Amino acid sequence: MATNFGFSISKPRVIDVDTNNLKKSNEILAALPELQSCIGCGSCTASCTAGNLTSYNFRKVHTLVRRGEYAGAYEEMNKCMLCGKCRLLCPRGINTRRVVMLIKKCLGDF
Amino acid sequence: MSKRVVVVGGGISGMQTALSLKSLGFEPLILEQSRQLGGKVADWHLLFPSFTPAEEVTVPLIRAVRQNGILVRLGCKVVSIESRRVILCSGERIDCDAVVLCSGSTLFDATIKEEYGYGIYDNVYTSADIEKMMNNECVATASGAAPERIAILHCVGSRDEKVCQRHCSKVCCITGVKQAIELKKLFPKAEIFNFYMDIRMFGPGYEELYRQAQIDYNIHFVRGRISEASPLMDGRVQIKAEDTLTGRPLRMSVDMLVLMIGMRANDDNAFLSSSSGAELAPNGFFKSRNSFVDNVLSTKDGIFLAGTVSSPKTIGQSLNEATTVAHRVAEYLNYGN
């Protein structure tokens, strides 16, 4: 019988690219190769309507998805209201709304 | 009799300097310490950002040097530069009217960064190794297999206080992008990750190539410096970094780790500076009189600089300086100062 010692072991925070399954990530990048050109400037997150009210960070979520970290990505993307301000600002011209929709479509059952 | 100008170094800057001096009516003499002309560019395969073969730069220059009857002495190491005199390690003294230092720079020795395991375990290479492997058409892992995952690490021996190299080596960012594309073309199925601190795409066509690498070749760019590499049982290499854009530590195993080594100042600069009186910058490269109108002049009259002897530079910038320096030498010799 398990004894409660009053502490638990934290899950490792490391992104392990060897064990992560990059299949979904590759599907998203194949559908929208321009997503790979993100330079992490943060314009999208700075302008984000949802991000000003919640902890939603679009840049971070899609970067994690590209590394194969899918947990919670779908739920996060649901916070997006598709206002499109980020798309107006993106210096790389990435169709950011398409990124939101692609992640929701590919990772909906995750 | 035309005036004699000693050009120290027979790389691309030295050859172009000599050619320009010759066309202005001077008598240049190239002193090269190795047994051949061409310098570092002779070891390179393709050049960024156009993927031009390096020999398209070196071969025409070497041919022009020969056709113009420029005096070249190979295997000559310069140990001292005095005003209007150069002394070789054989003790021979060569009198001249001016000296142009085109002695270039040294590639950073990656074994100093022990945490990356270069020279200690297999499958860790430098950017220069990759160029040689490309030239010999033998790019493969240590076991001879095609790599499935490759990590390219930028800024090895650049912007690093720990190895006394504070400066940015300028050309490694674009070299990392270029080699990523070349490797992807060779191994289309391989995943390629570039680890960087900053990506500095300063030249024409560089940013475009960076974008092309991302969109057309699906090269991954991770902002974060690899902190350590360790060998795995199967001979592959495990790397650790922080993915700073997500704020999470990251690790992966790779078949090849390629280190983008920087340019550092030649060790010889110290005694060439002390004998000549031309000052060095804090990073050990020769100091230009100023960065603007007198950038090819050293701090000592009669001693001139061209190419990477004064700071890391691209081939195009080095060749431009070589042409410029000839005109400044002409002004100096014809009109005095």
Model confidence pLDDT, tens digit, residues A25-65 = 999 999 999 999 999 999 999 999 999 999 999 999 999 99
Strands B78-82 and B27-32: unpaired
Which chain A residues contact residue B191 at CB under 8 A?
A: 22
> What residue numbers bound the domain in which A62 lies?
23-107
Q: Is the pLDDT of residue A110 over 60?
A: no
B215 interface with A at CB cutoff 8 Å: yes
Kindly list the residues from chain A whose CB atom is less than 8 angstroms away from the CB atom of residue B253: 18
Rounded Cα distance between B194 and B221, Å, is 5
Task: State whether residue B249 sits within 8 Å of chain A by CB.
Answer: yes
Residue of A nearest to B218 (CA): A36
| Cα angle A91, A97, A101; round to 5 | 140
Mean of the pLDDT values across residues B284-300?
A: 96
Interface of A with B in 77-106 (CB under 8 A): 92
Q: CA torsion B135→B137→B138→B139, rounded to 10°?
A: 80
User: Among all chains, which residue has been given the structure tokens 């993915």?
Assistant: B243
- Per CB-CB distance under 8 Å, the chain A contacts of B223 are 40
Q: Which residues on chain A are in Cβ contact (under 8 Å) with B255?
A: none
In angstroms, the Cα distances linking B137 to B148, B172, B182, B183 are 18, 22, 12, 12
pLDDT tens sequence across B236-250:
999 999 999 999 999
- The ipTM, to two decimals, is 0.92
At B77, is the secondary structure helix, strand, or coil?
A: coil
Mean pLDDT of chain B: 96
Consecutive H or E run containing A106: helix A96-107
Chain B environment of A72 (Cβ under 8 Å) = none
Is residue A6, in this structure, part of any structural domain at all? no
Q: Which residues contact B235 (CB under 8 A, 6 or more apart)?
A: B122, B123, B141, B142, B143
* Contact with chain A for residue B188, Cβ under 8 A: no
Residue of chain B whose Cα is closest to the Cα of A94: B215
**Is A3 among the domain residues?**
no
**Residue written as token pair 């996060």:** A76
> What is the rounded (10 degree) CA torsion for B222, B225, B228, B234?
20
Express each pLDDT in B68-81 by its tens digit: 999 999 999 999 99
How much is the pLDDT for A1? 64
* Residues 6+ positions from B32 with CB-CB distance below 8 Å: B9, B10, B14, B72, B73, B74, B75, B76
List helix spans (H) across chain B.
Answer: 12-23, 55-67, 127-135, 172-186, 206-215, 269-276, 315-335
Which tokens belong to B40? Answer: 């570092």
A29 and B CB contact within 8 Å: yes
User: Which amino acid makes up residue B304?
Assistant: F
d(CA B139, CA B2): 49
- Quote the CA–CA distance of B271 and B260 in Å, as a whole number: 28
- Average pLDDT of the residues in A12-36: 96
Q: Tell me the whole-structure pTM to 2 decimals.
A: 0.95
CA atoms within a 13 Å half-sphere pointing along the CA-CB vector of B223 = 16
- Whether residue A79 is contained in a domain is answered as yes
Q: Is residue A9 part of a domain?
A: no
Kindly determine whether residue B251 and residue A59, on different chains, have CB atoms separated by under 8 Å.
no
Mean pLDDT (chain A) is 94
Structural domain count of chain A: 1
Q: Does residue A74 lie in a domain region? A: yes
Per-residue pLDDT reduced to its tens digit, B104-125:
999 999 999 999 999 999 999 9
Within a domain: residue A65? yes
Asked if residue A13 is part of any domain, the answer here is: no
* Residue at A58 is within a domain: yes
Give the bridge partners for B72, in sequence order.
B30
Give the DSSP per-residue string, A60-76. Answer: HHHHHHHTT--TTHHHH
- Residue-wise pLDDT for B129-185, tens only, equals 999 999 999 999 999 999 999 999 999 999 999 999 999 999 999 999 999 999 999
A64 touches B: beta carbon within 8 Å: yes
